[in-house]
Amino acid sequence: MTAANQSPSTSLKRAEAEARFELLDVASYDVHLDLASDEATFRSVTTLRFTSRGGATFVDLKPLRVNEIRLNGSPLDADLLERGRLPLATVEGANELVVDAVMRFRNDGEGLHRSVDPADGRHYVYGMSFMDAAPSIFACFDQPDLKAPYTFHVTAPSDWVVVGNAPSADPEPGAGNTALWEFEQTQPLSTYFVTLVAGPYHVIRDHHDGIALGLSARQSIAKDLDADADELFTMTRQCFDEYHRLFGIRYPFGDYHQAFVPEFNAGAMENPGCVTFRDPLVFSSRVTRGVRIQRASTVAHEMAHQWFGNLTTPKWWDDLWLNESFAEYMGNRVTGDVTEYGDVWTHNSYARRQWGLVADQRPSTHPVAGNGAADASSALQDFDGISYAKGSSILKQLNARLGDEVFFAGVVDHFTTHRFGNATMHDLFASWERAAAQRASAVDLSTFTSNWLRTAGPDAITLDRAAGVVRRTPPADHPADRSHTLRVATARPQGGEWEVDTLSLAAAETPVAVVGGDAVVLDPFEDTWAVAQPDPTTVAALTALLPTTADPALRAGIWNNVRSGFHNAAVAPAAVVELLVAGLPSEDTDDAIFYTLPWTLREVVPMTTDPAAAMDRLHAVLVEKATGAAAGSTLQLAAFQSAVSTATDAGQLRSWLAGRVLPEGLEVDLDLRWRMLVQLATLGETDREELQRALEAEPTARSRVEHSRAMASLPDAEAKAWAWARFTGEVDVPNYELEAAGLGMWRAGQEHLTAPYVERYFAEVPATVEVRSGWNLADGADSFFPVTAVDEQTVALARALLADAEVDASIRRRVVDATDDLEHRLAVRRAFPTV
């Protein structure tokens, strides 16, 4: 038995992937996993069959230790394994590699993640093979364009259920208290799609149109999954019918199981046959309509991936947008067209627009397509608002230009030509151009591709009222000549009706007629991708106009204009607060509150002259809104959630916590209870003993996370040291608890306690690469960034760190983005000084 080299692994570079692709054709994987012998490790035996043109290459492998490796029957020295790679001297023709290794279960949401449910002590496992993680489960050629079919054989405890990418027969009894699960061979898959979900999961099954459907979740939330099952199955059926109608190509991966798994890093992962979701999407407490829309669009998004990404897969990560932008666009479109959530685009406006626009204005911006991903690790950082929200918006524009007939004809041609294979952006655009030519509507999409998909950054669209023009300004570092067609809403300042006109911008300046003090909102319905922000006259008029604006989509567009203006120091913090105080009473969608208030509390209120007074004003309006909203409505719930987050009176919070003086229609459930406890912790009005009692009373996974947030939020030195021990890895915690500790640590008003950790963050964050990797490494760097240290010294420390070329790419990206946010807040402070 040989110990594996434990140095950090090397992320695959594009040139290496191209060389390996030219050398190899992978025929099949046969994988035996023993999940029953040990709670810390599992045995993995991989038989990998491939043909080679003959020559040297390597296989990806990240074991705890190696038992044996054989290539074409001859043993290989496991000591040659270095940084996750084992050199191979292949022969021309057929080759067979057998790797017998012991792997470590992980707790960071990657590889084969194993967690213990604090509610009942049961163990649960799931696989996340995305971006460099597959080799910690099985030996593989880990790149998206070396697809192959997989056959899995899994030994598991006899009381476990095991689900994978392909259907399985009923398990056979194994040795001791185990069972053997034999899975059918899959369709050809990229390594990053491979998954297993194993444990004593609660499973619900159904069928639709010849497809076996399944849902699963932990036993402790079984009743919640049962309550949600009808909605989830209904949406799944509706989406399958619509995708089949739009594409004319049936779902090709056998069963369709949706597994809600604990401590999942992403929202979901589109593994063929077995999609994994973060299990907070099984609702254990009351949620707003917006949260239900988010879940519905996520379900539809992952279903779109079965075609966009799974059936036809990007050849390399620079075309990841072929997965995410399409799934984002199609997920929203299908959700809006065929489910009960026809208002999904308004929800999307609140939930996703600023995520994409802010990302696109940062120094780390990148093109939607052809993002230049040099390796898999750096590509992971580009799964951001650009690849999702911006890409989706541009595809929506392209659909409007081509029309549905050409758009979907091109998509179907793309799927058919590259079925179970790989393709590039150029392949897809060639399919669209062929589809247009066949319908006598030939188009040349090269200019569109160059300006919108291959050039980073958004144009800024602003009104110059004095000059009577709308200006279109491309970003200085990313020049482009983009034409925009958008709508413009105008209204008289004192409660006038909004008038909507269409405006085409084909030059740097476009004349417009503006009357006196009219409010002018540019692109309120998000017809294009650009940063639109209101001029001062409009901001002043909106306080009177917003309360009488009935169109939810227009209200969302107004708020995105305001948020962009604030981000770029063109709208004062005080003006944002005034607009909220004026507009909140008339809001009739919970999204407006659910997404606007957290942003306001996090970024706007600390920039006001008197943050405490601003908080009290917002709190009073929110309490009034929660009291006046329809009892039991999700609008009431959203308002009350924000009322809790703005409360500064411990007595009021205690009364609510005890169930007294609550607005009619509300009850204190697990979510509200922990919201109140976290707020009491932030105010210093609870202690560790009460928080521990609350955790012990309801020892759920959600309680564990919120307990971490509350503990880190306490205003004393012990709490900050407690959180910091998790950041450095001195105390090892699962991913959700790590993130909660970081977000709880940096609280406005506690700067005297966190000041010593500002320099420590920049000194110690590089070493976190020794205790975390991948997604978790980046999230740790992000959640512990000193967001409340808004001063030039913090910026200087960040720049000094970024000057070090040795800093890990994942850490670097998060620090670059967080520093850019910090510099924008400093710009707001300079533009609107508080003293």
Residues catalogued as catalytic: 302
Which two tokens mark 98?
A: 């057998």
Eight-state DSSP code of residue 170 = P
Element (H, E) at 49: strand 41-52
One-character DSSP codes across 86-128? EEEEEPSEEEEEEEEEEEE-BSSSSEEEEEE-TTT--EEEEEE
The pair of three-digit structure tokens given for residue 246, joined into one six-digit string = 């739009």
Distances (CA, A) of 690 to 543, 645, 707, 724: 43, 19, 10, 22
Q: What are 154's strand-pairing partners?
A: 33, 181
β-bridge mates for residue 705, sequence order: none
215 DSSP β-pair partners: 204, 258
* Token pair listed for 596: 């606007």
The H or E element containing residue 43 is strand 41-52
Other beta carbons less than 10 A from residue 501's beta carbon: 11
Helices 321-338 and 222-247 pack at an angle, to 10 degrees, of: 100
Q: Which residue has the tokens 């407006």?
A: 592
Instruction: Tell me how far apart the alpha carbons of residues 593 and 619 are, in angstroms, rounded to a whole number.
Output: 12
Residue (of 777, 779, 815) closest to 799 by Cα position: 815
DSSP codes joined into one string, 682-732: HHT-S-HHHHHHHHHHS--HHHHHHHHHHHHHSSSHHHHHHHHHHHHTSS-
Cα gap 183→826, rounded to integer Å:
57
- Within 8 A by CB and 6+ apart from 704, the residues are 118, 695, 736, 737
Cβ atoms 564, 533 nearer than 8 A: yes
Strand partners, 516: none
CA distance 225 to 204: 9
Dihedral over Cα of 254, 255, 261, 264: its sign: positive
Question: What is the C-alpha to C-alpha distance for residues 785 and 602, in angstroms, rounded to an integer?
Answer: 14
Gap between the Cα atoms of 293 and 835, Å rounded:
43
